[in-house]
Amino acid sequence: MHFDTRCVRAGVQPDPTTGAIVPPIYQSATYVLEEVGRDKGFDYTRSSNPTRAVLEAALSGVEGAAHCATFASGMSAVDAVLRTLDAGDHVVSSDDVYGGVSRLFNTILARHGLSFTYVDSSFPERVADAIRPNTRLVWIETPTNPLLKVSDVAAVAAVAHAAGIPLGVDSTFATPALLRPLEWGADIVMHSTTKYLSGHNQIIGGAVLSDDAAFQEKMRYQQKSIGAIPSPFDCWLTLAGLKTLSLRMARHSENGMAVARYLSVHSKVARVTYPGLKSHPGHAVAKQQMSAFGGMISFELKGGLEAGRSLMNSVRLCSLAESLGAVETMITHPATMTHADVPREERLARGLTDSLVRLSVGIESADDIIADLDAALH
């Protein structure tokens, strides 16, 4: 089945009760048992819910994974994966990760006995050098948030597997439309379904996918024990968004390339980072493992922080907003918004400067997006 078809049809069957082509919202907390010890597959919605089950089947089909567990947010999905580790375990992580992930790792999980080493995972040899005897997980983002570094999933997987360690990939920016990490050797894939998968700024959610049945049981245990699960209505909205994922990502990628090319030659722009540009250090790897380059761009302005503030206060079509991956174009200042909790010295060491601007290019007319940026830049 082609990917476009999987987005529309995978995991979704007509409702067996009514024949409804759209899965119903089972807004129920509990389910009546037929008799003691015998149910119809559901007993309590924290454990499982019919609408959630359809979403998990659909996401499995789109990602090409055997198993999927959904969560109340991308962060709760990351937390669920990390909570399969024990005190004293060590994690090698990409150095450029979403600020919420840094916050979770450094200020919460570190207090419970986990330790973390951050490396530029664009260089697989640096991942190899960071592995210790107690390393139990390699965790990467590709492309990363917000610097859009690209990691070679197959190469990093080879490094991790040589040491007997699983590789987890946050593939939120790429989505299964552009990259399916399991096909390149990854063991775990995480998505913030808040972003491109739902695509319409309507829900908060997350998903963890794998081909490992034992790992899936651990995710089910996390869902049931901690209860950070998505509501049936949020699952239903995500299913609706998923149907247009292939179409949207094609438009996001087309617009992203057009906007990146415009910014790359603008006299007031110091630097543009977009995997689709040949100037990107990871362009060759991105071209090899991704079918297109997505809608995320980061760039720096000449004039530093004040120039960035002026730009973001002057746009009209682009929305100044924290999130990304929706049909609307959104512009963000990571240093004061998404990565504000990352200490400044740490941000600067990563290359995340005060003047960095992150742009989530939407599906509006590329001409209108460029016109808005052009007016703001002038």
Q: Take residue 269 and report the two structure tokens written for it.
A: 């722009």
pLDDT recorded at residue 279: 97
Residues listed for the chain? 378
Mind listing the pLDDT tens digit for each residue in 175-213?
999 999 999 999 999 999 999 999 999 999 999 999 999
pTM over 0.85: yes
Instruction: State yes or no: is 46 an active-site residue.
Output: yes
User: Could you tell me the sign of the dihedral formed by the alpha carbons of 218, 220, 225, 228, in that order?
Assistant: positive
Say which of 15, 46, 212, 221 is annotated catalytic: 46
Instruction: State yes or no: is 44 an active-site residue.
Output: no
Say which of 6, 52, 149, 195 is annotated catalytic: 195
Say which of 170, 187, 234, 372 is annotated catalytic: 170
pLDDT recorded at residue 339: 66
pLDDT recorded at residue 38: 86
Closest CA to 182 of 157, 165, 145, 213: 157
Mind listing the pLDDT tens digit for each residue in 261-306?
999 999 999 999 999 999 999 999 999 999 999 999 999 999 877 8
Q: How far apart are CA 204 and CA 125, in angstroms?
A: 35
pLDDT recorded at residue 271: 94
Q: How far apart are CA 332 and CA 348, in angstroms?
A: 17
Closest CA to 172 of 211, 137, 139: 139
Q: How far apart are CA 139 and CA 102, in angstroms?
A: 12
Q: Take residue 227 and report the two structure tokens written for it.
A: 């209860």
The per-residue pLDDT string of the chain (378 residues; one tens digit each, 9 = 90 and over) reads: 999 999 999 999 999 889 999 999 999 999 999 888 888 889 999 999 999 999 999 999 999 999 999 999 999 999 999 999 999 999 999 999 998 999 999 999 999 999 999 999 999 999 999 999 999 999 999 999 999 999 999 999 999 999 999 999 999 999 999 999 999 999 999 999 999 999 999 999 999 999 999 999 999 999 999 999 999 999 999 999 999 999 999 999 999 999 999 999 999 999 999 999 999 999 999 999 999 999 999 999 998 778 888 898 999 999 999 899 999 999 998 877 766 667 777 777 777 777 889 999 999 999 999 999 999 999
User: Could you tell me the sign of the dihedral formed by the alpha carbons of 371, 372, 377, 378, in that order?
Assistant: positive
Closest CA to 300 of 291, 308, 290: 308
Instruction: State yes or no: is 372 an active-site residue.
Output: no
Say which of 31, 98, 118, 196 is annotated catalytic: 98
Per the DSSP assignment, residues forming a β-bridge with 80 are: none
Average confidence score pLDDT of the chain: 95
Q: Where are the beta strands (DSSP E) in the chain?
A: 67-71, 90-94, 115-119, 135-141, 167-170, 188-191, 206-210, 269-273, 296-301, 319-320, 330-332, 356-360
Q: Structural domains in the chain? A: 3-242 (3.40.640.10), 245-377 (3.90.1150.10)
Instruction: State yes or no: is 243 an active-site residue.
Output: no
Closest CA to 277 of 255, 257, 253, 262: 257
